[in-house]
Amino acid sequence: MARTRSRLADGREIVYFDREPGRTPVPDPRDLPAAEPLCETRRDPLTGDRVTVTAHRNTRTFLPPPDQCPLCPGGPASEIPDAGYEVVSFENRFPSFSSRTPDVPATVDGQEIFARAPGGGRCEVVCFTDDHGATLARLPIERVRLVIDAWADRTAELSDMPGIAQVFVFENRGVEIGVTLHHPHGQIYGYPFVTPRTERMLAMASAHRASTGRDLFEDVLDAERVAGTRIVASGEHWTVFVPAAARWPVEAHVMPHRHVPDLAALTGPERDELAVLYRDLLRRGDTLYGTPLPYVAGWHQAPTGEGRDLLRLHLQLFSIRRAPDKLKFLAGSESGMAAWINDVPPERIAARLREAAVGAEA
């Protein structure tokens, strides 16, 4: 993999990833003001959760026509100056977190109970291809492998940046999910804090180790493989399964067979197999209802500090589509109380994903 760095007109970094070296980046011709994002976090005193407030993101681009897509290469509205690319990652123009954000007072309204802090960190956009009409599921295996290498590269680099506590690699796909750009892409968040879900998993893994002496993720994976009823696919290094307590009408996890804290720690053979199994899972999802599946696919990675021996890297893919013409909306129990109700038994989800294998090969 060849990595080439450059800068956009407002100072943001852009990194190209190619299978072969030799790229000479084109200068960004736009006249842009310096990037000055406004990001802050506020702590909810009732739950301890941090809520991020971003005063600048309401002006971000929303579902532009193809000829004005900012992720297509070389156009007048493009964030990517080069005439073509394989995989590229750049700092988000409308970030949720940024090291450039100014300082803020330590409290809201001078009240100590309402803790406040700058929303430091970093947000990047990762484009999987310069083909506007493509999808990650339909890219060649060698391109999916390059995407994985780019994810690992950015995970390693962001993890070493000051003030970043956790790196989250994810893709939102489909207008039903809320995407604002159709071009095939994902995002990377370098959080200035450990997220609530990760804190909860670390607490559960720590308690499990204290009571049993064993690794929680190892025991979960072993139990799923022994039961077999929710296994979708497996290989030498990875298993794809629907979790026994799946929250969503379509949900699958992809977990490595050894303890790996993050994408950067994967070996070459593990990345090779992941490219095949992940693309296969995406294709299975697209065959379930005869229409492209709206989904969120997120890589849960260990924090950059403590807990790297407790949390194992794994992918969670889920969709809000519960029938060809029906979506699952988070209603009172889920949104108000975080108490999940799933209308589809996980075993049925797994069976349907397994049965989708024929369509997945088309």
CATH number, position 68: 3.30.428.10
pLDDT at 56: 84
| 243 CB neighbour count, 10 Å cutoff | 19
The C-alpha atoms of residue 255 and residue 136 are separated, in whole angstroms, by: 19
Helix (H) or strand (E) holding 296: strand 295-300
Does 23 lie in the same domain as 92? yes
Does 59 lie in the same domain as 185? yes
Residues 34 and 110: beta-carbon distance below 8 Å: no
Q: How far is CA 310 from CA 90, 168, 213, 262, in A?
A: 31, 17, 12, 12
The C-alpha atoms of residue 326 and residue 25 are separated, in whole angstroms, by: 45
Residues 114 and 58: beta-carbon distance below 8 Å: no
Residue 113's domain comprises 2-193
- Indicate the DSSP class of residue 105: -
Does 172 lie in the same domain as 157? yes
Closest CA to 224 of 203, 240, 200: 240
Chosen domain end from 193, 224, 247: 193
For the chain, what is the radius of gyration of the CA atoms?
A: 21
Q: How far is CA 176 from CA 64, 293, 326, in A?
A: 16, 9, 11
pLDDT at 357: 65
Residues 254 and 263: beta-carbon distance below 8 Å: no
The C-alpha atoms of residue 321 and residue 315 are separated, in whole angstroms, by: 19
- Indicate the DSSP class of residue 174: S
Does 160 lie in the same domain as 17? yes
Chosen domain end from 154, 175, 193: 193
pLDDT at 253: 98
Does 202 lie in the same domain as 182? no
The C-alpha atoms of residue 209 and residue 204 are separated, in whole angstroms, by: 9
Does 228 lie in the same domain as 152? no
Chosen domain end from 193, 212, 244: 193
- Indicate the DSSP class of residue 59: G
The type of residue at 162 is: P
> Would you state the structure tokens that stand for residue 189, as one six-digit string?
């968040």
Does 116 lie in the same domain as 244? no
Facing residues of 344 across strands?
A: none
pLDDT at 359: 47
| 306 CB neighbour count, 10 Å cutoff | 11
Does 213 lie in the same domain as 173? no
Residues 327 and 321: beta-carbon distance below 8 Å: yes
| Range list of β-strands (E), 26-104 | 39-43, 50-54, 87-91
Does 294 lie in the same domain as 263? yes
Stretches in the chain below the pLDDT threshold 50:
358-359, 361-362
Does 170 lie in the same domain as 119? yes
The edge-to-edge listing of strands for the beta sheet with 50-54 is: 50-54, 39-43, 111-118, 107-108
Q: Does the global pTM surpass 0.85?
A: yes
Residues 204 and 315: beta-carbon distance below 8 Å: no
Does 122 lie in the same domain as 52? yes
- List, by residue number, the catalytic residues: 185
Does 185 lie in the same domain as 203? no
- The number of folded domains in the chain is 2
Residues 259 and 295: beta-carbon distance below 8 Å: no
